[in-house]
Amino acid sequence: MATQETAKTQYITAKDIKYAYRIIGHASSNNATTPPLLMLNHFRANTDLWDPEVINRLAATRQLITYDYAGMGHSGGEVARSVKGFSQNLIAFLTALLPSLNTTFVDVLGFSLGGFVAQQLVLDAPDLVRKLVLSGTGPSFGPHLERPMAEVNSAIMAPTPSGPAVIDTFFPSFIAKEAGEAWLNRVVGGRQAMAGKDDEPEWAFFLTGPGLSNLIEAYLKWDADPTPYALLSTVQKDVLVTAGQNDLIVPSQNSYILSRQLQRANFVLYPGSGHGHPFQYPEFYTKQVVSFLNGEWPTPPFSAGTIAPQ
């Protein structure tokens, strides 16, 4: 079975953009009930920077698609200047790829920025999505949302990325030295043995350079756009929303509000953790994701509603 460390990088061109992706794990015998799980990574990240502890545990039960956004990692094109642009690129990618996987839709796990893109995707192309997992993420502009501290935004948007700064924003201070450094070592080391060998691309770090300004623009536009927030109540998909107890990048309250706006959402708060809760608790987190995708969580009965007689 291919893993985060061993999966071959593949490419597909859609609307003149060459996208990099990897297929990890085993295909289901029935893609109608167990479609591939599309993994959408966080701000500035790429396919090389997924945590093997999360990817490999999920891949043991299903087929995963990891994917580089346009202009990031190993994909061509330019970084989109809006989350809507990220979504339109993703729709083109999926439309080109899914026939080769014998399916017409996917489950989607979006972490952080990936959660923004997942929300926009299900609004733009609901038929492409079966279920959603939204982790360490929040809705676009709306009432009662909190904003992260300016120092946090400065750390994640710095022109030159800093590993220690990322650790400090992802993990609580009392476990940052142990859990945070272990996570960073895993994501940095995961693809090093493959990088640059047997036609594999060189290893890619966090996004820098001209594309970063486009990414920041997309991030800030999302925070100022009330439309996706207003449309969340129209989403008729089963959703799992997870958050750390004290998320510095996407305040935990925002994840809770996101779950309240989605009619079919479960919400889980991880104790003693922050933005990086999936990587702090990879075994427990992946068990929850798998059981949710397998239909083992409660879902509300569907009703279009009726109007009581006057």
Q: Both tokens of residue 74?
A: 């190993």
Q: Would you list the domain boundaries of the chain?
A: 10-294
Residues listed for the chain: 310
Q: Both tokens of residue 278?
A: 């999936």
pLDDT at 307: 64
* Helix or strand holding residue 61 (H, E): none
Fold topology of 10-294: Rossmann fold (3.40.50)
pLDDT at 147: 92
Non-local CB neighbours of 276 within 8 Å, separated by 6+ positions: 136, 170, 171, 179, 180, 183, 244
pLDDT at 310: 62
pLDDT at 31: 73
**Partners of 66 in the beta sheet?**
22, 39
pLDDT at 303: 59
Residues of the chain short of pLDDT 70, as ranges, are 302-310
Rounded-to-integer distance, Cα 135 and Cα 274, Å: 11
Q: What is the mean pLDDT of the chain?
A: 95
pLDDT at 163: 85
Rounded-to-integer distance, Cα 112 and Cα 44, Å: 11
Pairing of strands 10-14, 17-24: antiparallel
